[in-house]
Amino acid sequence: MLIAFNKPMNVLSQFTSEGGWPALDGFGLPKGVYAAGRLDRDSEGLLLLTDDGGLQARISSPKFKKPKVYYALVEGVPDQTALDALQNGVRLKDGQTAPCKAEAVDVPEWIWDRDPPVRVRKSITDTWVRLSLSEGKNRQVRRMCASVGFPVVRLVRWSVGPHDLTDLAPGKWREVVGV
């Protein structure tokens, strides 16, 4: 079984609450499934869950290079130099990131209002950046964007491999066909 879940902001990618944060157990997910990969508490979007260990490994292991698409709302307006740096890979404390696709985009048509809302500051323009990468270092998108001078204020994972959030509201899930 493979489940696509739209994880809301401030929900843990585990079935046990911790530190006062809600967990996956509050969303009526089928028994016996577990997350294939993770999505940080302060990130939103697609989280795949499965009851199949082999499938979990094919989804989450970096050796299978499943592309993941993220939409990051960043502070400022990244110029072509910053986007080129992201695309070529940047040096982080734990090593060089692999090349990825990165482009500034309009506000995604499908994006929902976040709860809690993103803090708006009149003196700083925010820009959406679409990134497609196939590795998964800890907090990688946030660290990559910060390393080129554009901190992330909102991060939404849109897709993993062929699976995406089409018609899936925050906190909702559906069963999907495998990877």
Residue 97 per-residue DSSP state = P
Provide the CA 101 distance to its chain's centre, in angstroms.
15
- Residue 131, SS3 per DSSP: strand
Q: Which residues are catalytic?
A: 40
Pairing relation of β-strands 2-7 and 163-164?
A: unpaired
* Residues 26, 171 contacting (CB under 8 angstroms): no
d(CA 61, CA 82): 28
At residue 70, the 3 state secondary structure works out as strand
